[in-house]
Amino acid sequence: MIWNYEHIKNSFDKISQSDPLTYFAPFFILLILLELGIDLAQKKEWYNKKDAWASIVMGFGSIFLSLLAKVFYIGIYMWIYDNFRLFTLDNVWWVWILLIFADDFSFYWHHRLSHQIRILWAAHSNHHSAQSYNLAVALRQSWTEMFYKYIFWLWLPILGFHPVMMFVMMSISLIYQFFLHTEAIGRLGFLEYFMNTPSHHRVHHATNVKYLDKNHAGVFIIWDRFFGTFIKEDEEKPIYGLVQNLETYNPIRIASYEYEKIWEDIKKPISWKHRISYLIKPPGWSHDGSRKTTKDLVNEMKNK
């Protein structure tokens, strides 16, 4: 039975007690304040006050919603682990090494497809809606993304990774990614070749056509290099936000905006094939060709 209450409760308690995010949360706030202090002292213009507050509010909202999602997926993961695992991977150091790569591989495909499938982009675009780039943006997490993202990790309990270990590793990855959201750190030498860095992630958040839908990595940039989605930050300064910015700091509007736009598209007097396409094709696709996807924009740029 999937919903074994005691089994789920015990696993959730273990995750809650061992979740490193619990211990790092105060440091996130301190580092945001430190970066803000540098920004004000040196007039860097890294922060927009309203934008930052929207990010922080969305962060608090995502904490609550992620708890609900975890309760659901713990049940699924534990059921798979108990009934279908191929191996039993114990809590030893080399299993954690395997897990960090398996987790990051899962994150890469979740992240990449969240940019290529519009209904997934409707959730993920919340994170990209900030027009400034700073540590507070790391807190601007989607309110709906966690309800589908964990699907990309379903193969890990089959291999034999325990769900508690999986959720701890996901938190470690999120902690690492927090430090990527800054303009205060330049390039990091040889680390740029195999690690995701602030420089690589600035590219990911940029709306410049040459940078669009690149550098989807979580911890290791190796996946982007291998699968052809890597581009290096160069002299062209990243412009942050969305291709069409929302122009709102209301967290509810930020969370719902792209879903509203999808609804406007699918309620048009069009075929069901086109309605489905508005859900599963890339952002920017339209049945009449009146809009442009990333691929269209890149091809236009190349043909100029």
Residues facing 240 on adjacent strands: 206
Q: How much is the pLDDT for 279?
A: 98
pTM for the model: 0.93
Q: Does the pLDDT of residue 304 top 80, yes or no?
A: no
Cβ proximity of 100 and 119 under 8 Å: no
Q: Is the pLDDT of residue 101 over 90?
A: yes
Q: Tell me the CA distances in angstroms from 85 to 77, 93, 154, 198, 296, one per residue in order.
A: 10, 20, 11, 37, 43
Q: What is the pLDDT of residue 1?
A: 47
Alpha-carbon distance of 55 to 141, in angstroms, equals 8
Of 100, 280, 154, 128, nearest to 212 by C-alpha is: 128
Give the residue with greater pLDDT, 190 vs 17: 190
Residue-wise pLDDT tens digits, 159-217: 999 999 999 999 999 999 999 999 999 999 999 999 999 999 999 999 999 999 999 99
225 or 25, which is more confident?
225
Token pair recorded at residue 236: 């062209």
- pLDDT, one tens digit per residue, over 52-64 is 999 999 999 998 8
Nearest partner of 119 among 139, 145, 146, 154, judged by Cα: 145
Question: Per-domain residue ranges for the chain?
Answer: 5-227, 251-303
Please state, rounded to an integer, the average pLDDT across all residues of the chain: 93
Between CA 247 and CA 291 the distance in angstroms is 20
